[in-house]
């Protein structure tokens, strides 16, 4: 049993190999299967059909939201993928920690990574081992959860190129790893993808980008049917966005799909590519929707989350802002920035694309999570994709066709657009809020940080609710002429942000998907920039930038437990089972990232335009929190 409040302290370090030709492991890692807890009352688990896919649903499977869950998610009690499953649900079937006993949660282990930078992402748990990926220099650390104190098993050091630190837009964060077939796969900041064996030795390493030109990698790759899917960061440096598929066994790049440029390069030239809306149909729109050659600096990077539907054999992802931020410098709809795209993971061939914001003028990246659910919609069961956007809207699409079925505000203050035309797919933009070169547009809500950031939502099949971590910043925005110099910032805007109206800069929004409205909210004084976790015992976990980690009743939002960590939380909580089926909850506390960078000594609280404009809204974070580097693990006392 875990008894040490200083648990997880490193005991030994083994350095990983640094070349693709590293020898295979001589000893296999010890794997202790986690005990399988009972299914929560009222929860239904459908029998697994061919292919091993089963569906997790509410009490009435015919009338409730369903989440597909397959072998890639591992055993109950493991956490093998960034969001637990391909659906990006962040919903755990564990229920030993429940509404009656969650108030007794206590710290049973901590570990310091030694890197006081932004800790985004989440650990993985495979068998008896927890895997932690750190911010730059991107160590991979393995801990043995089957032993008292969770001792360190090994640490892999990839030695990324330090030039990447100066190229990263918004801190040197990393959003985690994926596990499959004995390999832990993750990205390093200097645009490499690495695969590490369970004994800590390097299986392969593949360079997929040019860090000198501004390409970095911060997102968590997803492994779909033997293919590693990854995307780049760097739109603020004029990088051209892409996704790539790599062979899991060898690391060989199988395909590259760009998010701007001719159809041949965007892989939108196949017979199966059928966008639903006329606005997204036509030849070489990735070129013709830009001013000449601007598409080559077009942004549209992929630094968020990827989903996968194995029944349709499609991956889904969102793209980031177009380059440059000055919209007048790039007339046209600027495809395929600010879009959701569906592709075949084996070939990269696009099936459909939907551009959420044509000709973006606010930096409204839509790299957010696309949560895949099956549920009744307007009288019939449909395969849906639910996307809570930076724009302040929750988008519901048919994930087979790309049709927009709903777009309603989870952030009522959003004023850049009044709504969406479901017949055309276009937003109804307020012309007074569109930004232009040489003039300042005031009181735009939300700000460029969005009504929510990259930090992911969770969904519960028991409640039918999506839990969205939101924040309330507004801004003034002035477009400016920008010149491109490779590898340097390419912004073209002067942005000043401020808190929205009222005293609450953070809100956990419980969104009723079926009824397209807010069910309840938890308001916080400080921004919520963490991910969310839900469980089969109707609990929802989230963190706040002032360092509080909280658990609430998923049915009504009543906060049932909270713990003050040593730093602001911008990470995503997970839950897992250890020996004897004991349930744990884990989260990093280490503030950083775009907004969180305001706590760093290098950011002046006296300059409201610092940190790409966020200081005007979050300078006072310095007064309540500080940089950190700690993994916290919680559990009920041993008697439970």
Beta-sheet strand order (sheet of 440-444): 440-444, 473-479, 493-499
pLDDT band at 639 (very low <50, low <70, confident <90, very high): low
Residue (of 218, 219, 264, 266) closest to 240 by Cα position = 266
| pLDDT for position 587 | 98
Q: 20 or 590: whose pLDDT is higher?
A: 590
Alpha carbon distance 611, 602 (integer Å): 10
Between CA 572 and CA 72 the distance in angstroms is 20
HSE of 42, CA atoms in CB hemisphere, 13 A: 11
Task: Name the pTM for this structure.
Answer: 0.92
Whether residue 456 contacts residue 572, with contact meaning beta carbons closer than 8 Å, is answered with yes
Residues with Cβ < 8 Å from 628, sequence gap 6 or more? 116, 119, 547, 565, 566, 567, 568, 589, 590, 591
pLDDT in tens, 392-402: 999 999 999 99
236 is known as an active-site residue:
yes
Quote the mean pLDDT of the chain. 92
Query: 584 burial class (0-12, 13-18, 19+ CB within 10 angstroms)?
Result: buried
> Which helix or strand (DSSP H or E) is residue 594 part of?
helix 593-596
| Confidence label for 19 from pLDDT (cuts 50, 70 and 90) | very low
The answer, yes or no, to whether residue 288 has pLDDT greater than 60, is yes
Q: Is pLDDT above 70 for 136?
A: yes
Q: Which residues of 504-524 are buried (b: 16+ CB within 10 A; e: fewer)?
A: bbbbbbbbebbeeebbbbbbb
559 contacts 543 by C-beta, under 8 angstroms: no
- By C-alpha distance, which of 272, 286, 379, 378 is closest to 339? 286
Band (pLDDT 50/70/90 cuts) for residue 58 is confident
Per-residue confidence at 60, pLDDT binned at 50, 70, 90?
A: confident
Question: What are 512-553's pLDDT values in tens digits?
Answer: 999 999 999 999 999 999 999 999 999 999 999 999 999 999
Residue 1 is predicted with a pLDDT of 27
- In this structure, the strands spanning 66-69 and 227-231 are unpaired
DSSP-assigned letter for residue 526: S
Candidates 98, 138, 259, 321; catalytic one: 321
* Strands 574-577, 559-564: pairing kind: unpaired
Q: Which DSSP symbol is given to 47?
A: P
> Cβ distance 425 to 339 under 8 Å?
no
Share of the chain above pLDDT 90, in %: 89
φ, ψ for residue 286 (rounded to 5)?
A: -70, -5
The CB-side HSE value for 189 (13 A sphere, CA atoms) comes to: 24
**What's residue 149's pLDDT?**
85
Closest by CA position to 468, among listed 456, 480, 486, 454: 456
Give the C-alpha separation, 636 to 144, whole Å. 19
User: Where are any strands of DSSP class E within 513-629?
Assistant: 517-524, 532-535, 539-543, 548-553, 559-564, 574-577, 583-589
The DSSP annotation for 149-167 comes to T--EEEEE-----GGGGGT
Average pLDDT of 484-512? 96
The domains located in the chain, with CATH, are 44-635 (2.140.10.10)
Sheet strand arrangement including 192-197: 177-180, 183-188, 192-197, 202-207
Is 284 a catalytic site residue? no
Q: Which residue reads 């990093």 in tokens?
A: 588
Q: How far is CA 1 from CA 563, 631, 637, in A?
A: 22, 19, 10
Above pLDDT 70, what percent of the chain? 91
Spatial distance between the Cα atoms of 298 and 312, rounded to a whole number of angstroms: 29
CA distances from 313 to 37, 70, 310, 618 (A): 31, 13, 4, 42
Could you tell me if 401 and 408 are in contact, meaning their C-beta atoms sit under 8 angstroms apart? no
Catalytic residue selected from 363, 374, 472, 538: 363
Q: Is 53 exposed, middle or buried (0-12, 13-18, 19+ CB in 10 A)?
A: middle
Q: Which two three-digit tokens encode residue 362?
A: 């606010």
Q: One of 85, 215, 236, 280 is an active-site residue; which one?
A: 236
CA distances from 343 to 129, 266, 289, 400, 403 (A): 32, 11, 21, 11, 15
Q: What is the CA radius of gyration of the chain?
A: 22
Catalytic residue check, 171: no
pLDDT of residue 463: 96
Asked which of 14-28, 153-167, 436-450, 537-551 is least confident by mean pLDDT, the reply is 14-28
**Which of 406, 414, 402 is closest to 364 using CA atoms?**
414
**Strand, coil or helix: what is 352?**
strand
């Amino acid at each position: 049993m875990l008894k040490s409040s200083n648990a997880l302290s490193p005991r030994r370090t083994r350095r990983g190999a640094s070349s693709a030709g590293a020898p295979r492991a001589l000893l296999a890692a010890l794997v202790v299967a986690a005990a399988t807890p009972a299914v929560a009352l009222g929860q239904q688990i459908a029998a697994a059909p061919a292919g091993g896919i089963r569906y997790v649903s509410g009490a009435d499977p015919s009338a409730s939201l369903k989440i597909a869950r397959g072998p890639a998610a591992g055993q109950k009690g493991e956490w093998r993928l960034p969001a637990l499953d391909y659906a990006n649900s962040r919903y755990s079937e564990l229920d030993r920690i429940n509404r009656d006993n969650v108030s007794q949660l206590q710290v049973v282990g901590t570990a310091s990574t030694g890197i006081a930078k932004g800790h985004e992402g989440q650990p993985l748990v495979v068998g008896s081992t927890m895997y932690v990926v750190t911010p730059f220099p991107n160590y991979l650390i393995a801990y043995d959860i089957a032993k008292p104190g969770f001792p360190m098993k090994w640490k892999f050091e990839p030695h990324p190129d330090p030039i990447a630190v100066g190229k990263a837009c918004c801190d040197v964060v990393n959003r985690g790893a994926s596990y499959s077939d004995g390999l832990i796969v993750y990205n390093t900041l200097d645009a490499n993808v690495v695969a590490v064996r369970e004994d800590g030795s390097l299986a392969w390493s593949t360079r997929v980008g040019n860090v000198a030109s501004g390409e970095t990698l911060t997102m968590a790759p997803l492994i779909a049917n033997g293919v590693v899917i990854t995307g780049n960061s760097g739109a603020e440096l004029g990088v051209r966005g892409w996704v790539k598929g790599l062979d899991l066994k060898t690391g060989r790049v199988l395909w590259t799909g760009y998010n701007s440029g001719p159809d041949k390069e965007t892989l939108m030239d196949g017979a199966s590519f059928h966008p639903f809306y006329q606005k997204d149909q036509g030849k070489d729109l990735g070129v013709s929707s830009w001013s000449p050659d601007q598409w080559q600096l077009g942004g549209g990077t992929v630094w968020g989350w990827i989903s996968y539907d194995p029944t349709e054999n499609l991956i889904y992802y969102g793209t980031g802002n177009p380059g440059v931020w000055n919209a007048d410098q790039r007339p046209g709809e600027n495809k395929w920035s600010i879009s959701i795209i569906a592709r075949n993971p084996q070939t990269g061939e696009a099936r459909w694309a939907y551009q959420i914001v044509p000709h973006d003028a606010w930096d409204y990246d839509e790299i957010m999570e696309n949560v895949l659910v099956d549920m009744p919609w307007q009288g019939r069961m449909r395969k849906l994709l639910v996307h809570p956007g930076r724009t302040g809207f929750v988008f519901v699409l048919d994930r087979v066709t790309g049709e927009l079925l709903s777009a309603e505000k989870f952030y009522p203050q959003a004023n850049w657009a009044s709504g969406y035309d479901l017949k055309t797919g276009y937003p109804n933009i307020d012309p007074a809020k569109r930004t232009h070169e040489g003039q300042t547009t005031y009181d735009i809500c939300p700000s460029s940080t969005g009504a929510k950031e990259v930090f992911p939502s969770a969904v519960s099949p028991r409640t039918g609710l999506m839990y969205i971590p939101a924040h309330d910043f507004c801004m003034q925005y002035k477009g400016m002429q920008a010149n491109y110099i490779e590898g340097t910032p390419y912004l073209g805007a002067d942005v000043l942000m401020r808190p929205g109206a009222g005293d609450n800069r953070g809100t956990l929004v419980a969104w009723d998907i079926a009824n397209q409205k807010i069910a309840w909210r938890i308001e916080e004084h400080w921004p919520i920039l963490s991910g969310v976790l839900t469980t089969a015992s109707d609990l929802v976990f989230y963190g706040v930038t002032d360092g509080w980690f909280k658990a609430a009743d998923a049915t009504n939002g009543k906060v049932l437990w909270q713990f003050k960590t040593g730093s602001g939380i911008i990470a995503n909580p997970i839950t897992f089972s250890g020996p004897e089926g004991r349930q744990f909850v884990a989260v990093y506390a280490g503030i950083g990232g775009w907004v969180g960078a305001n706590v760093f000594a290098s950011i002046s609280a006296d300059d409201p335009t610092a940190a790409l404009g966020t200081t005007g809204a979050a300078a006072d974070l310095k007064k309540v929190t500080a940089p950190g580097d700690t993994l916290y693990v919680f559990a009920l006392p041993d008697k439970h």
